[in-house]
Structure 1
């Protein structure tokens, strides 16, 4: 399995985030990818390389142009407000919620920062755009390998992506790498593509991008949004809209769920993907389902991730893995690579 590694990911390194009423050091750190990369190399699962540049079009197929324009210039605008801002990250503090207008683009940078975000836990840094942009390159490269006939490919990148919508960031995510990969597969000639999200936190951004479409099936196994971030999407009754009716499957589980119950939900998601007739799978690979994760609540152990990989391989689909969450930093490499290792062993 080839891995496309974002060698610029560490340019995005937030200092602080808002968490439960306090400013705390960010949970999403560069060491997450470094541990995965080290484990990949230790097990020699396949070549690791930087991706080719994908250009703007694959990203603009998923994200709104005014949002992309904002991200590309946000840091310069932030520093232009006050030169002292160069030493602190940009964090939104106001949002256009119910009855507020979002169609008019404010001239104020803080207002636009809020317009294009949904939480105060995703600091925008000097290197955010560069790192996120290179991450999209990884996602497109992985999709292209599937189109060329590979059984699997891995986009190893950060910041993660599955919370980012067409025109908003949040949950540490700025560009939705899984959605970009899925769209690249569609644009490459596949009629039906599935995205399966196994991160502890619901992929609200991915769901919102494809919710009205019948050509991309979205399934997610995640913490119950009544108690778990991102809270406002991920309920079981969200089944899709219009052409996408029946093409969205949410399988929320209670905090404390162990592997047997979680694995049953995974089997249900894979069965729905088979019934949809998907020709390829994009897997949002979050390993914050781990029992030691500091901001999550499932109870999967490291060996369980080998079984996860085996179950995914048994689905028989070309699969693009896209790295998402996992904040038990010391174990994230073992857990993520266990999924890939299990997949490769079963697919061999």
Structure 2
């Protein structure tokens, strides 16, 4: 299994997030990836590939994929946001930028405001995703890692690849960030696989939280099936997408499948639903698979509510391997930091046999 590692991930290290009405230390921290990398090295999983710093224009095919998934004005905002934030007040260099105002129902979102705070709100959906001095570079290098992983799989150089990156990606939409995510790694990987000749690609999201960004990106497309197993959005973040009746629209009708489960679900219930997801991928006739790999389904996760144990992740890997598809994994959630490395490595070990 090829592991593509984002060397710039630690440049994004938020100080605080808004959580349950108060500012608290961020749950999404660089140590999450460090634990995974250490465990993969301990088990000898690899080879490990680390991309060099990517200058704009240095990889035209990557830029094409990035602009196919994300809106140009959103990408421009992310690239320039930190400089604008500091230009407002040099003291802001010691603070993270968090949004505080949003265009909700009845407000216009088609006109981009010139005010920085207004644009932060235009391009976000929560106050829990701090933008820092290194967020853009970390996110862009991570997006490139996901595309490199997909290229290796799409070109037949690896049967399976793992994009080991953070900040994570599956909550990021075409033109919005949130849920700790800025650029959608799984959507980028799926598009890269499409560009390399896979007519049908399935995205099977196993994170505790619904991949609202991925769903919204592909909701009107028939070439990418999106499937998600997650906590019931009536009680679980991100709340406003992820219901079972969301089946796609237009050309994409019937190509989105949500499988929500109640808080407290254990592995027996979760694995039964995984079999439904796998059956849907088979029925779709997917030629390649992308797995947003969140392990915040773990029983000890501080911001989630399922009850999976570490050994269960071996079974998840085995079940996904039964699809016998070229597969790209992308690292997503998992906030029980001490266990996240073992749980991720167990999925990959189970998948690889």
Interval of TM-score (by shorter of Structure 1 and Structure 2): over 0.9
Deviation at 1:258, TM superposition (A): 0.2
Match of 1:71 among 75, 78, 85: 78
- TM-score of the aligned structures, taking structure 1 as reference length: 0.98
| Separation (CA, whole Å) in 2 of partners of 1:287 and 1:324 | 8
Q: Could you tell me how far 1:333 is from its partner in structure 2? A: 0.1
How large is the Cα RMSD of the aligned pairs? Answer: 0.7
Counterpart Cα distance in 1 of 2:245 and 2:333: 25
Residue equivalent to 1:293 = 301
Mapped partners of 2:198, 2:327: distance in 1: 13
Matches within 5 A, 1:56-205: 56-149=63-156, 150-205=158-213
Structure 1 match to 2:51? 51
Residue-by-residue CA offset, 1:61-101 (whole Å, 9 max, x unaligned): 10000000000000000000000000000000000000100
Give unpaired runs (5+ residues) of structure 2: none
1:277 paired residue number? 285
Q: Structure 1 unaligned segments of length 5 or more: list them.
A: none
Runs (4 or more) in structure 1 with deviation over 3 Å come to 52-55
Secondary structure of the 1:61 match is: helix
Shift of 1:49: 1.5
Aligned pairs for 1:28-39 (under 5 A) are 28-39=28-39
- Tell me the equivalent position of 2:20: 20
Cα distance in 1 for partners of 2:209, 2:307 equals 14
TM-score computed with the length of structure 2 as normaliser: 0.97
Distance 2:7 2:270 in 1: 33
CA distance in 1, matches of 2:206, 2:18: 25
Aligned residues: 345
What SS does the aligned partner of 1:56 have?
helix
Residue 332 of structure 1 deviates from its aligned partner by 0.3
Quote the Cα distance in structure 1 between the aligned partners of 2:106 and 2:9. 37
Give the Å deviation of 1:51: 2.8
Instruction: Give 1:324 shift.
Output: 0.2
Q: Deviations over 1:142-177 (max 9, x none)?
A: 111111212100000000000000000000000000
CA distances 1:76-132 after superposition (whole Å, capped 9, x unpaired)? 000000000000000000000001000111000000000000000000000000000
Q: Which residue of 2 aligns with 1:309?
A: 317
